[in-house]
A and B are shown apart, each in its own frame.
Chain A
Amino acid sequence: MKRAIGLIFFCGTVCSAQPISSTELINKAREYDGKSVVYAGEVIGDVMARGDFVWVNVNDGENAIGIWLGKELAGEIQFAGSYHAKGDRLEIDGVFHRACIQHGGDVDIHAQDIRKISPGEPVREELDTRKRNFTFVLFGVLCLVLIFVRRQRSKESGFRTR
């Protein structure tokens, strides 16, 4: 009975819990070690499949932490953050490890459940016209300098041959 009440209380705490920042997790790693946590952030880089599991790295804007999750959970992920894309934002319920025995002592979170808070999208890049114009100006200056240098050299070689 006590266990059941404890479990209901624990589940309630996790479900209603605010995400913990990566800095808090890293700085107080011993405190959170082995505990259930809620962590949220953007998926970045690659979604790396390892057998029936997947590694994703999730960045909350302060640091990125590795999340170990089952392949079925990873199916939700469509975009991983990079220069070309904004990654999906996930909220992860899982167990935090300060030095995970299964993964060579890495700091990680073994996910039990994930929710997509907001979907990612490709980033469309527009050409910066100021940069483009500045490039043309500099190219012009470079050409002028090279022409000037060539003329000077040919003049000097002309003097020498005379």
Chain B
Amino acid sequence: MCCRVFLKTMILKPQLQDLKNIGYYSGKILIGIGLTMLVPMGIGLLFAEPNPALDFLIGAEIALIIGVILTRLCFTEQDLNWMQGMVVVSLSWLAAMLVGAIPLYLSGHWNSYLDACFETMSAFATTGLTLVQDLDHLSYAHNLWRHFASFIGGQGIVVIALCFFVKGVSGAFKMYVGEARDERVLPNVIDSSRFIWLVSIVYLILSTLVLGIVGMANGMRPANAFFHGACIFMAAFDTAGFAPQSQNILYYHSLLFEVVTVVIMLLGAMNFNLHYRIWTGDRREIWKNIESRVLCIIIAVMFLITLIGLSQIGSYPRTLVMFRKGFYQVISAHTTTGYATIYARQFIDDWGALALAGLICAMAFGSSSCSTAGGIKMLRLGIIVKGLQQDLKRIILPERAIVEQRLHHLKELFLEDKQVRAALLITVAYLALYGIGALVGMFYGYPFLDSLFESVSAAANVGLSCGITMPNMPVGLKLTYIVQMWAGRLEFMSVFALIGFFVAAIKGK
């Protein structure tokens, strides 16, 4: 009772300075979002699409007006504290969604502003679930924005702002962590952000070239081949799963295209620290790292489960065909990309419960930490398994024995209880988020397996759909998936901080 009273009195109402700090940095991020809209505007002009170009100019102007007003009204030279940094991140993501949806809504390809917001959050959160209407006639500019927003969101909206607009290193680190990047590649967080962008841009250039050449070899027109190449790279490397055509990867009818996208998806699912190690010549780290090992094991297990499921019901007439379809979908699910070479409905009608379960688990587990992928993440799974091993050893070995558990993640580490607790906490939060989404789906009358599939896909930022995500789905479900995508991408802490901030504003003293 005494503690409760103490805690209640501990909650402090946010002060004007808190609001100023939050407003100032959110404004800077909005300016960044506004400026990025000039890229699709340029593409609109390049491809002779004046109205789409105007859509982006309108979006950019609104973002810049709000951003400039916020930075002026809330001007401050103070650095951010932890709470402010987290709130800035979660609020900025919502603001980016609201502003980024404007050009999409103006195009007329989305039924409502909510649908456009859904699409934008799906893009920024690198999910890939889509509510677009008549995608095959969408302009180059709007199509580019869907993919470019994935590229920005995958690297991190805040990471881009850190590269260009933020000077204070301490506040920058708090925002960097708030955007679910708890590891620095380099000692300085701003240098880390710049490295992340360097890696991404180098891969962008190389992959666009490769995909463009493959596209041309497949019979596509050169301009289309390179445009598709850039879009597909952005959505594959940032594990978003959008594609410029409604058939997704099935549009290309090409094994080579599938092989290249698998490689890009795996690159996107790799920890940026591992990229750094490879770039600096330390290739052995890949084989020693706990994340890579767990990822390999889980991919193998999930692929096996999926294959057994597919062969049980005879989904595919030949083993090689089954391997190709199964492998692509499993890699896409595991890397949380969401690219598909089958139609959404086929997951339910053709794949059977066991194969679907394998795919759901692959989506739920996700890939590496400090990558563009979503889901629980391999590092957490590795830590939990190691923690379990440690506890078992404690039970089996004599009481006086000192039990040490090691793991290798970039360096040799001794497992600490607090690491296990943190990993378990986030894992439980993800499981709860998956469950809540599935319950909401069932509330709207969808079957359990379909609801769970779509919920996990949204919360783990995957983007594979079994057919629930459609423009005519209930508004409540659209809102649920938006929240799932947002919370899943930010890995909860910033969202919890925002909720805490509002609670403090109401209940604090």
Partner among B65, B139, B218 whose Cβ is within 8 Å of the Cβ of A83:
B139
Contact between B325 and A105 (Cβ–Cβ < 8 Å)? yes
In the assembled complex, the Cα of A76 lies from the Cα of B119 at a distance in Å of 37
A157 to B246, CA, bound (A): 55
- CB-CB under 8 A from B250, the residues of chain A are 66, 106-107
A125 at the interface (CB under 8 A from B): yes
User: What band does the interface of chain B fall in when counting residues whose beta carbon is under 8 Å from A?
Assistant: 35 or more
Cβ of A23 to closest chain B Cβ, rounded Å: 8
Check if A29 sits within 8 Å of B349, measured CB to CB: yes
By the criterion CB–CB under 8 Å, are B49 and A125 in contact?
Answer: yes
In the docked arrangement, what's the CA distance between A85 and B139, Å? 11
Q: Are the CB atoms of A104 and B140 closer together than 8 Å?
A: no
Q: Which of B78-86, B267-275, B315-323 contacts A (4 or more CB under 8 A)?
A: B315-323
Task: State how many angstroms separate the Cβ of B251 from the closest Cβ of chain A.
Answer: 6
B247 on the interface (CB 8 Å rule)?
yes
Q: Tell whether, in the assembled complex, residue B51 and residue A48 are in contact, meaning their CB atoms are under 8 Å apart.
A: no
- Given known pairs A81-B136, A105-B316, the reply for A99 and B54 (CB within 8 Å) is no
For residue B245, which residues in chain A have a CB less than 8 angstroms away from its CB? 44-45, 57, 64
| Interface residue? B449 (CB, 8 A) | no
Interface membership of A26, Cβ < 8 A:
yes
> Quick check: A81 and B137 within 8 Å, CB to CB?
yes
Query: Which residues A117-162 have CB closer than 8 A to chain B?
Result: 125, 127-128, 131-132, 134-135, 138-139, 141-142, 145-146, 148-149, 152
Partner of A138 from the list B61, B246, B255, B315 (CB cut-off 8 Å) is: B61
Query: Whole-angstrom distance between the alpha carbons of A149 and B70 in the complex?
Result: 11
Q: Is the CB of B253 within 8 A of A26?
A: no
Are B346 and A64 in contact (CB-based, < 8 A)? no
Q: Which residues of A contact B500 (CB under 8 A)?
A: none
B68 touches A142 (CB 8 A): yes
Which applies to chain B's interface (DSSP): helix, strand, loop or mixed?
A: helix
Known: A50-B219, A104-B321, A106-B341. Contact between A29 and B350, CB under 8 A? yes
**A44 to B136 Cα, complex, angstroms:** 7
Residues of B near A55 (CB, < 8 A) are: 219, 253
Within 8 A of A (CB), among B88-141: 106, 136-140
Whole-angstrom CA separation of A146 from B321 in the bound complex: 60
Q: In the complex, how many residues of chain A place their beta carbon closer than 8 angstroms to a beta carbon of chain B?
A: 47
Q: Is the CB of B325 within 8 A of A27?
A: no
1/0 contact string of B336-350 vs chain A (CB within 8 Å): 000001110110011
**Is the Cβ of B49 less than 8 Å from the Cβ of A142?**
no
Question: Any chain B CB within 8 A of the CB of A47?
Answer: yes
CB pair B51 A127 closer than 8 Å? yes
Let me know if A46 and B136 touch, CB within 8 A.
no
A103 nearest CB neighbor, chain B only = B253
CB pair A131–B55 under 8 Å, yes or no, is yes
Contacts of B317 in A (CB 8 A): 99, 101
Residues of chain A contacted by B253 (CB below 8 angstroms)? 48, 55, 66, 103, 106, 108
B152 within 8 Å of A by Cβ? no
Query: Is residue A54 within 8 Å, beta carbon to beta carbon, of the partner chain?
Result: yes
Q: A64-B247, A128-B54, A131-B58 are in contact. Are A54 and B65 (CB under 8 A)?
A: no
What is the interface of chain A, defined by CB distance below 8 A to chain B? Answer: 26-27, 29-30, 44-50, 54-55, 57, 59, 63-64, 66, 81-84, 98-99, 101, 103-108, 125, 127-128, 131-132, 134-135, 138-139, 141-142, 145-146, 148-149, 152
Extra A-B contacts (4), CB below 8 Å, given A64-B246, A99-B350, A105-B324: A84-B47, A101-B317, A125-B50, A131-B106
Question: 27 A-B Cβ contacts within 8 A?
Answer: A26-B346, A29-B350, A44-B136, A44-B245, A46-B224, A47-B219, A59-B246, A64-B245, A66-B247, A81-B136, A81-B137, A83-B138, A83-B140, A99-B316, A104-B321, A105-B341, A107-B250, A125-B48, A125-B50, A127-B51, A128-B54, A131-B55, A131-B58, A138-B58, A138-B65, A145-B72, A152-B72
B residues apposed to A, CB below 8 Å? 47-52, 54-55, 57-58, 61-62, 64-65, 68-69, 72, 106, 136-140, 218-221, 224, 245-247, 250-253, 255, 315-318, 321-322, 324-325, 341-343, 345-346, 349-350
Q: Which 7 A-B pairs have the closest CB atoms?
A: A48-B219, A105-B321, A138-B61, A44-B136, A49-B219, A131-B54, A83-B139
